Amino acid sequence: MLTPLKFQPLFKYRIWGGNKLKTVLNKDYNGDSIGESWEISDVPNDETIVEDGSFKGYTLKQLIQEFKGEFVGESVYKQFGEAFPLLIKFIDAKTPLSIQVHPNNEYAKTHHNSFGKNEMWYIMQADEDANIIVGFEKEIDKTQFKQHLEDKTLLEVMHHENVKKGDAFYIPTGRIHAIGAGVMLAEIQQTSDVTYRVYDYDRVDKTIGKTRELHTEQATEVLDFNVEERYKTDYKTETNTSNTLIHSPYFKTNFLPVNGELVKDYSSTDSFVIYMCVSGQATIQHQQKDCALNTGETILLPASIKEVMLKSEDAQILEVYF
């Protein structure tokens, strides 16, 4: 019988990484500048494995191969086969990420044999005056964009937005973006590791002894130059309710604050469900067995699980499904 599953995170060195994943989220790793904790991943050569229980050591791929729609949902299996469609991360940016953009499904399939990378951010912690870059501040075209790159004035036409805990942003493919210094967040994205760096502050990566590769030509081909009136997502925060946060064709995420006991019925949800605990702690009860979920932990409910009980005094959970 499939049960709620925790996976062993994969910790990624990043030139911009800090130590909040350890000091704030209590992640257990060695090394410095760890920028990402890949919680649930089916990226080739970076597959997460089940942490404990009867399926300890299984990868996502092995679970899908063995249980198919029972694990991911019949409709998800029909669409993706043995590929798991989402990549789940926690990210800590001590210094700014490169200004970057991701391609859509069609472009990524043609050039990288990969999914595209639509993603979302939920801000878990932000230092004072920390900000992100998301989209353009004013309309420019490809020629002006290249000129700004050449003049090193690209930052002047980016939309900078100060952020705080609880802010959420959808980053569709084609939208230029960067996480700023002092921001820790949860990221939900398509299973893809394709990133086109546009600008990287001319910094040297100590692990390779030189600046990182830029991908300005590919970026220019996929960039969306439209300016949005508002980039931040508004959402409700009603307790013991799955408040719609970001629903896209690529994933659905709800904001779920839990206080007391809450029964969640997934009998009409033909999908796996992932819980990311972004604040507090909760207990998930299934078949009379309890599983703890603390801040910075992630758990996957296979599609065959149709009901769980959540217990908490004050937890905030991102509820993710397809």
Which residues belong to the active site? 197
Q: Are 94 and 36 in contact (CB under 8 A)?
A: no
How far apart are the C-alpha atoms of 232 and 39, rounded to whole Å?
A: 24
Strand partners, 317: 256, 277
Whole-angstrom Cα Rg for the chain: 20
Give the distance between the most distant pair of CA atoms in the chain.
63
Provide the token pair at 93: 């940016």
- Closest to 54 (Cα-Cα) out of 115, 97, 103, 1: 1
Q: Give one DSSP letter per residue of 18-83, joined into a string.
A: ESHHHHTT-----SS-EEEEEEE-EETTEE-BB-SSTTTT-BHHHHHHHHTHHHH-HHHHHHHTT-
Amino acid at position 209, single letter: G
Give the H/E segment covering residue 107: helix 105-112
Number of Cβ within a 10 Å radius of residue 49: 16
Provide the token pair at 103: 């391609």
Provide the token pair at 134: 């998301």
How far apart are the C-alpha atoms of 50 and 54, rounded to whole Å?
A: 9
**Residues 187-223: b if buried by 16+ CB within 10 A, e if exposed:** bbbbbbbbebbbbbeeeeeeeeeeeeebbeebbbebb
